[in-house]
Copies of this chain bind each other. A is one copy, B any other.
């Protein structure tokens, strides 16, 4: 998420905030569920509850797309599903390649929710010659040597990287050189890409570490009931190591 902000004077409401874009798939999911239950219309309050957001936020989000609601009634479910799908570019099918068919890559390939949302696995690619030709999720794995040919042959613009971290940048470079302009990276590495290429990352460790941070905070707060956040301040004070750093300067373990 570092796409150079195209400073568009907003001729029309064409500038949808990034935070809104990130929530559209959430709305779409909730709306699809309603659609399957043949619910004709939904209010911002109901839909917001289903998507787990504030209703005012939802209404403002939709206002960036246009005025698709009816006052006093709500939103037409089918119509909104279509509008959001169109906005997200899901009315077309996006061919996707997955590179690195190990534990994670195979799980991704087997993931059903992939195809049901506008994405199609065009190819699976791995560097291991022993894997070449072996089918995973019904799709034969192809060798990295053919990466460029595969990308260009299928007109792939979205790539998923599930290789070890050490190989990720190299794979990324090849993908980009072959024409991929959007990358979803599962490897724990920072990827550098040229302007115009989007990278999003999914990192399990980071998520867990964020949870651990809050978990620790919760555990420390139990001591003082309803009190002021003196503990945090005190803990930080400690780091003002005295003249002789009594705090170990080396990490244990």
A residues in contact (CB < 8 Å) with B: 3-4, 11-15, 21-22, 24-26, 28-30, 32-36, 46, 49-52, 65-66, 68, 76, 78-79, 81-83, 85-92, 94, 96, 103-104, 106-108, 110-119, 157-158, 181-184, 188, 190, 192, 196, 198, 200, 202-219, 221, 225-226, 228-230, 232-234, 236-237, 239-246, 248-252
Contact = CB atoms under 8 A, between A and B. Distances in A.
- How many monomers of this protein are in the complex? 2
B66 A209 contact: no
B119 A111 contact: no
Query: A-side binding surface: helix, strand, loop or mixed?
Result: helix
A209 B249 contact: no
Contacts of A229: 11, 13-15
A60 to B, nearest CB: 16
A211 B24 CA distance: 12
